[in-house]
Structure 1
């Protein structure tokens, strides 16, 4: 006897959330892959050694294959190590869209956008909380400022009206080149300074009110002896989580703790790598989630990362 019982029609399976991850480097960062998965992406595909000329074709391959409902569940992430190249790749991807075939794109090369956003947002928060001051007009020195995080932090601080000096432990010429490039690209004003010798470093430390250390991990860029010259210092923040401390006296756990040995009348406070990392993590998670759940395509670069970091910092109390 045949079974003639009618069965309810099966609902079509929901389309999975797919994230295409482009990087100019030989591998995608496992950190970013984990963050994307934790934000709800179900299929994550890295594309390595991607140059700028490949981005438009890859983007259009991603948008035309799924239909309007599918593109709503599709995203593109741009990683790598070059912060300017990542910004250009995001712009290329955006121009390759053909609405309604359009997906969200998020750039965060080496985590530089979200890390710099967390760094500057926390400096701004503590400046207001401890001193009742704004970042605009303050003298900001960025040590290791020619690297990825330093460049983005410089652009963010300068956009708020800070007087930004970009320091290079290699030579002043390199710092000037980086400063000129940032100024031209973003319409801001920064300057390059040399910090290769103790005398050079101590001279610029003596004028700085805020010091942001963004040098490579495991290198101390400011010693106790150097700090004795920081006569105007209000805040010192350090993204280095690997011993020794990037700035002497600024422990990775610090989040507004006074720094010993600073010759200012009111003292100075430190912000360590774990406090910065906590905000960075929240920012990256929020931006990945915004891509996936926002309902319409978004393009997320360092301005959006900074807005998100300021919101996270404000909620810290």
Structure 2
């Protein structure tokens, strides 16, 4: 009998994501077992149960996946899992809380492709405003863009205080500098987007963060992407199916949620498949997701 590929799926919430379960089984896992309401201080015991139950050469056939809806907690869980490993015993480790790591990766990769192919620009050459940066997708998108050299502003819909804390956290954890800005009024948001070349909208589903008139007033805008598929769109005038379509009244190109979505799914599937096919244990987060996504969008 062939050795089984076994995935242990952990979440701090009441349920694991059915989306992730389906993706894992479609990618080729023989077994997916959910562990719910898991706390950070429980990771060590759970991971060591995973690794010590099989001989070292089968460590690569075991994997631990972290879900939830908190990017920072998922990263902390990855670190706890790494520290729990006892060589030569090991296993694969991956996180994608609320699909945020792969969604953010796909979003930034789609923008990068459009900048290169349609505007002859690179991420490191542009300024970016991220709406929804205190959420999981926006947080990761901001870090990815900053790590690639972009000048990034994270916009606080309720003022500067919360995004300032996020900026400090990003600096401490990833060594990137992002600028927290106050987006608590329409006037302030109009001023913010008037000074950037890229907009990434990852705010709460069903919340419009910028109107069509605000986008028209963004004279430097090259590309705008929105991951919200629930009406009203986060960015008015960008259809959910838009894929490099010109935004009315501007010279900018729009990318909608249902153009980003397939890339997100392919990225998550690809990372899960990578763990199955790996010869050595992997530890995968949103940085790995971005490196894969940027190859998939070409």
TM bin (shorter chain)? over 0.9
Shift of 1:178: 1.1
Report what 1:220 is aligned to.
208
Report what 2:220 is aligned to.
232
Is the partner of 1:136 in helix, strand or coil? Answer: helix
Shift of 1:100: 2.4
Checking the alignment, whether the CA contact within 8 Å between 2:129 and 2:196 is kept in structure 1 is yes
Report what 1:31 is aligned to.
19
Report what 1:254 is aligned to.
242
Find the structure with the greater CA-based Rg: 1
Report what 2:115 is aligned to.
127
The aligned runs of 1:1-317 (5 Å cut-off) are: 13-262=1-250, 267-314=251-298
**Larger CA deviation: 162-171 vs 60-69:** 60-69
Checking the alignment, whether the CA contact within 8 Å between 1:114 and 1:305 is kept in structure 2 is yes
Checking the alignment, whether the CA contact within 8 Å between 1:28 and 1:46 is kept in structure 2 is yes
CA distance in 1, matches of 2:122, 2:3: 47
Is the partner of 1:26 in helix, strand or coil? Answer: coil
**Larger CA deviation: 170-179 vs 289-298:** 170-179
Shift of 1:228: 2.8
CA offsets, 1:118-159, max 9 Å, x none? 011110110011111111131100011211111111100001
TM-score of the two chains, using structure 1 as the length reference: 0.92
Is the partner of 1:237 in helix, strand or coil? Answer: strand
CA distance in 1, matches of 2:44, 2:183: 41
Runs of 4+ in 1 over 4 A off after TM superposition: none
Report what 1:3 is aligned to.
none
**Larger CA deviation: 222-231 vs 189-198:** 222-231
What residue ranges of structure 2 are gaps of 5+ in the alignment? none
TM-score of the two chains, using structure 2 as the length reference: 0.97
Shift of 1:42: 1.6
Is the partner of 1:72 in helix, strand or coil? Answer: helix
Is the partner of 1:100 in helix, strand or coil? Answer: coil
CA distance in 2, matches of 1:100, 1:255: 46
Q: Please, what is the CA RMSD of the aligned residues?
A: 1.1
Is the partner of 1:211 in helix, strand or coil? Answer: strand
Checking the alignment, whether the CA contact within 8 Å between 1:138 and 1:209 is kept in structure 2 is yes
CA distance in 2, matches of 1:84, 1:101: 26
Checking the alignment, whether the CA contact within 8 Å between 1:180 and 1:191 is kept in structure 2 is no
What residue ranges of structure 1 are gaps of 5+ in the alignment? 1-12
Shift of 1:69: 4.6
Checking the alignment, whether the CA contact within 8 Å between 2:65 and 2:94 is kept in structure 1 is yes
CA offsets, 1:147-204, max 9 Å, x none? 1111111100001111100012122111111112111211011011111211111010
